[in-house]
Structure 1
């Protein structure tokens, strides 16, 4: 019989990943800038016509390929991150209208950022493995000896620059995301971690999520 604790962890994982995608979608709809990985996905979407959420899934899958030389180990949460976060982004962007008034867009972004932090606490706290982007950064740290903050900076600045050149939405929200996501996720993860779970070391990002993300 399945352990009630395991069932609760799985529920946290699924709810967290779904909410993570909704949070990303809300920040996209706010239109004042998004995190680096979503900027990258937006830029690619502009040139391919593929929906933003579907691209988030495809980018997550591509990032997993980079795990191979880094010898990162997949978790159930990692695989579900690739499948669910982008799908939730796509549904949110498709179903909800984008507001025009700045007085609505700013609070919408703030709600999205806060929800992303809560969602990160749920899915990372379930202890089923990090998202593909988080794993890429921790893998680079372990394999190259780069400090964790530098590995994160190299990856995120690179994808942000490429996404911006391709036409992704870089704005004040991008700065707010960069400054706020780390402290917010750091606050919620220990408070939402289940007793039986031992969450992987995190580098919060956009995508799945990503938190990350994300």
Structure 2
């Protein structure tokens, strides 16, 4: 349990740091961060704090969807935006497209590894992922359709509010799925437990 908690906390902090680095790159963001950035520009509240607030508001949508949060869900709301805000405060922006691209890719890779860590700890989904699974279980929407509909909506809303949509948005959309697919297995404690159980019941 202690190791899983450490894995969860490290994963969430690194996830926020990766998002903060991508914000600093300035060449585009994932849909939810575009939305948070747009709200931050309109309200004057830091994008990290907005990320925490949006996470809490999304969690409220779980109530009619009959979803139950886990420790990981609550920790996600508290830590990701806080880590993002701290990272933005200490990481400077360096002018030049090549540096911006390298910074964005580095942030995205950090997000992928961090996703493997916190998902693999198996303490419950983040508020946004839980929204997708809730739409699936409550209304029968396919996961991909729920994700596409929700993320397209927040992307457009964030763009209209002034959030950054660009090359990075496209790179993230194309690459984050395969990267998390590679990053998750080494940290997936549930899969490793199942493998150990399977080994103990092998016939002699």
Q: TM-score range by the shorter chain?
A: over 0.9
Question: Offset at 1:188?
Answer: 1.2
After superposition, residues 161-180 of structure 1 pair within 5 angstroms as 161-180=156-175
Instruction: Please say which structure displays the higher CA radius of gyration.
Output: 2
Find out whether 1:13 has 2:5 as its counterpart.
no
Question: Offset at 1:95?
Answer: 1.2
Find out whether 1:69 has 2:64 as its counterpart.
yes
Equivalent position SS for 2:10: helix
How far apart in 2 are the matches of 1:175 and 1:45? 22
Find out whether 1:112 has 2:101 as its counterpart.
no
Change (3 A) 1:196 1:150: closer
Contact 2:47 2:85 in 1 (8 A): yes
TM score, norm. by length of structure 1: 0.88
Contact 2:120 2:190 in 1 (8 A): no
Counterpart for residue 92 of structure 1: 87
Find out whether 1:192 has 2:183 as its counterpart.
no
Question: Offset at 1:101?
Answer: 1.2
How far apart in 1 are the matches of 2:191 and 2:124? 14
How far apart in 1 are the matches of 2:162 and 2:70? 33
TM score, norm. by length of structure 2: 0.92
Contact 2:72 2:125 in 1 (8 A): yes
Equivalent position SS for 1:167: coil
Equivalent position SS for 1:87: helix
Counterpart for residue 155 of structure 1: 150
How far apart in 1 are the matches of 2:178 and 2:152? 19
Gaps in structure 1 of 5+ consecutive residues: 1-5, 199-214
Question: Offset at 1:67?
Answer: 0.3
Equivalent position SS for 1:100: coil
After superposition, residues 112-151 of structure 1 pair within 5 angstroms as 112-151=107-146
Query: How well do the aligned residues superpose, as a CA RMSD in angstroms?
Result: 1.2
Gaps in structure 2 of 5+ consecutive residues: 194-204
Question: Offset at 1:171?
Answer: 0.2
How far apart in 2 are the matches of 1:192 and 1:172? 30
Question: Offset at 1:186?
Answer: 1.5
How far apart in 1 are the matches of 2:190 and 2:59? 28
Contact 1:23 1:112 in 2 (8 A): yes
Contact 1:127 1:197 in 2 (8 A): no
Runs of 4+ in 1 over 3 A off after TM superposition: 195-198
